[in-house]
Structure 1
Amino acid sequence: MTEFPEGAPCWADAMFKDVEGAKAFYGEVLGWTFGDAVSEFGNYTQAYSGGKAVAAVVPPMPGADEPASQWTLYFASPDVAATAEKIKAAGGAVLMEPMQVGTFGSMAIATEPTGAVFGVWQPGDHKGFEKVGEVGSYCWAELATREPSKADAFLTKVFPYSSQEMETGGDPAAAEMDYKAFSLAGAENPVLGRMKTGADLEPQTPSHIRVYFSVDDCDEAVAKAKKLGGEVHGGPMDSPFGRFAALTDQQGAAFMVIDTARAVGEMPKMK
């Protein structure tokens, strides 16, 4: 099973009031199957693609205020308590202090200074994604924020990232683009993107991390999502990285789908 280096996205889960509805939706759109709910840990239920763990769904805790459904991306840490202290020192906030989850590992939930929620995972028996970048699994994420300088400073203080900025190449249409890719030493590819948002983001929408799941046909995935009560917020559109779309499921959780085999255009250069 893959061991994820510090700072690498390693897991994703989401809380749903209607877990069975979520299972039906993602089973159809992403082809997931689901394991048994683990009652000891709040009926946490893992999702599988081709028999490999790719995500999880869970109902709200009994008696707790029901939060809005959303996907949470977790970053690997060798010491979740130490990472929580780094988060606080770098201007973030820890929403859920480090806690042990049986023999599976330890976790914390936090926000970076511009408001995006994320998780930290110190693995035990559960290492994280059992496949990445394949159809039906997580393949990319980007932090969408109106305050990129704050987010950039935070990310490089908390995790061992280096960063590169995307070149616009003099393209007037891309002149306002502000996008960075964050990498880890020894990794072949970047592990996280950071995108400056503006007019394309509704004023009430806070900073957030966009989680991308790989599909074999973006348009088909979009059609299935719409049929099941999901909404389309962007796309489908072509890019050098693949054909992608921004969606919310029928309970309001936002996510992205991308067909990486359908890439159009020249890859942007980084500086």
Structure 2
Amino acid sequence: MPTIVHFDLPADDVERARTFYGELFDWKFEKCPGPMEYYLIETAALDGTGGVGGGMGERGEPGQQIVNYFGVSSLEECLGKIDTPGGKVILPKTAVPHLGYLAVCEDTEGNRFGIWEEDPAAA
């Protein structure tokens, strides 16, 4: 059953947002390699075990909000079902090299969500 495997948190001021969430929730941030200012977020559950991980980078479009990504075994199969119940695909299948594939969709209520298929062979 798909569950949230990652969240993406956009920020107008990444340093300000890192400070806010670091102090508020004690989240840990690690900068991704490369020129893009993007940080992986480490969270913990209330019992101290590892929580759902996320990422933070600069806001890509005005009004962009937090997007939760649901892990699926087949991105293409899931995308094939989006239109049937009234959803729509906003960002089609996109490779994240060496990690997997993602897509961003919108539900019947206008909420955006992502779907993620892990695949180390993604290019």
TM-score for both structures, normalised by structure 2 = 0.81
User: 1:89: how far off?
Assistant: 2.3
Q: Which blocks of at least 5 consecutive residues in structure 2 are unaligned?
A: 45-49
Residue 15 of structure 1: aligned partner: 10
User: 1:107: how far off?
Assistant: 0.3
Residue 73 of structure 2: aligned partner: 78
Residue 56 of structure 1: aligned partner: 55
Q: Does 1:106 align with 2:80?
A: no
Q: CA RMSD in A?
A: 2.1
TM-score for both structures, normalised by structure 1 = 0.39
Any conservation in 1 of the 2:39–2:55 contact (CA below 8 Å)?
yes
- Aligned mates of 1:85, 1:71 — CA distance in 2: 24
Matches within 5 A, 1:1-271: 6-39=1-34, 42-49=36-43, 54-61=53-60, 66-125=61-120
2:78 aligned partner, one-letter code: T
Q: Which blocks of at least 5 consecutive residues in structure 1 are unaligned?
A: 1-5, 126-271
User: 1:52: how far off?
Assistant: 7.0
User: 1:84: how far off?
Assistant: 1.1
Aligned residues: 115
| Larger relative strand fraction | 2
Any conservation in 2 of the 1:35–1:45 contact (CA below 8 Å)?
yes
Any conservation in 2 of the 1:10–1:75 contact (CA below 8 Å)?
yes
- Aligned mates of 1:54, 1:76 — CA distance in 2: 12
- Aligned mates of 1:26, 1:69 — CA distance in 2: 18
Any conservation in 1 of the 2:31–2:39 contact (CA below 8 Å)?
yes
% identical aligned pairs: 26
What secondary structure sits across from 1:91 in the alignment?
Answer: coil
User: 1:123: how far off?
Assistant: 1.2
